[in-house]
Amino acid sequence: MESIGYGLESLRPNMEFHRLLYTSFVTNVNTNMLTDMLSFLIGHTPQHDSLFGLDSTSGGTVQFVLVNNQFMKKWDERYKQWLICIQNVFSYQLPRMGKDYITRLVFDPRHLTLALIKNGYRAIGGITFRPFTSQGFSEIVFCAVSSDEQVKGYGTRMMNHLKDYHLSQGIYYFLTYADSYAIGYFKKLGFTKYVTLQKERYHGFIKEYDGATLMECRLDPRLSYNSLGQVLIMQRSIVQKMIEMKQKTNQSKTFSYKFTGDHRIVPLSFIQRKNRTNIKFDTNDVDFNDHSKDLYQTLKSIMDKLESHDDSWPFIGPVDEIEAPHYYDVIPYPMDLSTISQRLKRHYYVNVHLFHCDVKRIFFNCRTFNSEDTEYFKMANTLERYYFSLIKEHGLFVKSLRDEHQMIVSLKHRDHDRHQQSSSSSSMIHDSNSEI
C-alpha cells in the first residue's frame, strides 16, 4: 500500500496562490478593495499539499489521503484498514455494482482512491478513479460517503480536493458513467452530459455500462477548487462593505414622512421640497389627491353586495388557525372583508387602487393556501368574478392610476346628475300633490 501525492509541497504555495487569485477575479468583483484583501488570501493559502490537510468540523477533523494497492509485502496497517472500510462503504451505498466487482477495482493497482478519513483513523468515504495520463483524463469509478455522514458536504469537498490534485498532475478532464439516480448528484459536482473530450481519446479506455449516462467534468487550471468557499466568503465581505459605503453616501438623499391618521398619500409638494439633489422621477402615473370621501358611498355599496353574496361567508372574517393549521405561516399578509370594511369607515382608501389590492389579496391568499379541487378555491373564483362585475358596473375599472383621476371626475358628475334628478322628481311630486 502506498500513499500518493508527496513531493508537491515545494510547488504548491505559488501555484495555489495564482489559482486562488484568479478565482477571486473570475466573478468580476474587480474593485480596489481586492487589493486590501490580498493579505487575507496569502494568510489562508495552504503551505502544504491539500490532500493531506486537516479540516476542522463540528464533529472533529477530516483528512483527505490518496492511496492505492501496490502489492507491497509489508502493508501499512492504516492503509489496509482504510481501503477495506472504503470498499465496505461502496458495497453498502452501491449495492447494484456487486461486492466482488467493487473489491476488484478498489484493490486494482491501476486505480487510486481518495480516502476521506475522520479523526485520523476512520474511513467514512472516498472516490476511486483511474487516471489515463497519456490521454489527459481520469475515469471516476466509485464515489460514495457513509450513510451516517451524508448531507454534510463531504462529497463536494472530496471532489474539490481531487480536482486540485489532477490540476497538479496536468489532467483536466473527468469522465464517469452515472445511472439515473446519480446524474443529479454529479451535476452538482460540476459534471455535464455534454462531453467535449474527443471520443478517440477515451473510446476503448473506459468500460461502458448499459443504462448509464456518460458525463464529463472539465477542469479550469486557473481555479483553486478547494478554495472556492474561502473566496466566496471574501467576496461576500467585499460586497457587504460596498453596500455599507453606498448606504452612507445615500443617507442625505433619504427622507421620511409622518402620515396623519390613516391617510396613505405623500403630498407632491413635500417630495419636491425634499428633492434637493434634483432626482428625476415620473409622476404622471401617480394621483396625489385624497379621494376617500368621494369614493366612500360607491365602495360601501360594493362591499355590501360582496358580503351578501352566497359565496362570501369564508372571507367575511379572519381565518381561524385552528380550522386551518399553519395558515399564517403560509400567508404572510392576510386579508378579509371585515378588515376592508373597517378601513373603509376610516377613509383609508384614498384611491380605487388601494381598495382593489386589498380585495384581490383575499382571493390570492385563498388560492395560495387551498388546492384547486377544494370548495374554497372555487368560491374565491366565483366571488372574484362577481367583484369584477361590480367594479365595471360602478365604472371603477381602471388600468392604471393615471386613469383614476378622470374616473373620479366622472364619478362626481354622475353623482351630481343623480342628485339633480332626485331633486327635480321630488319637486314634481310636491307640485302634483298641491294641485290635488
Place of cell 481555479: 223
Q: How far apart are CA 324 and CA 239, in angstroms?
A: 42
Tell me if residue 60 falls in helix, strand or coil: strand
CA distances from 323 to 137, 327, 374 (A): 61, 9, 15
Q: Dihedrals φ, ψ of 370, to 5°?
A: -105, 150
Strands 173-178 and 137-145: parallel
200 is catalytic: no
Q: How far apart are CA 303 and CA 344, in angstroms?
A: 9
The three cell numbers locating residue 347: 377613509
Decide: 217 and 174 in contact? Cβ < 8 Å.
Answer: yes
> What b/e readout covers 246-260, taking b as 16+ CB neighbours within 10 angstroms?
eeeeeeeeeeeeeee
Beta bridge partners of 218: 173
The three cell numbers locating residue 173: 478532464
Sign of CA dihedral 389, 395, 396, 398: positive
Neighbours of 194 (CB within 10 A): 8
Which of 219, 214, 190 is CA-nearest to residue 202?
A: 214
Q: How far apart are CA 111 and CA 139, in angstroms?
A: 9
Instruction: Kindly compute the dihedral angle of the four CA atoms of residues 384, 390, 392, 394, in this order, to the nearest 10 degrees.
Output: -150
Which H or E run contains 180?
A: none
Beta bridge partners of 55: 62
DSSP string, 350-411: SSHHHHHHHHHHHHHHHHHHS-TTSHHHHHHHHHHHHHHHHHHHTT---SSTHHHHHHHHHH
Selecting among 16, 139, 216, 384, the annotated active-site residue is: 139
Decide: 1 and 69 in contact? Cβ < 8 Å.
Answer: yes
Angle at 250 between CA 245 and CA 254, to 5 degrees: 145
Q: Annotated catalytic sites, by residue?
A: 139
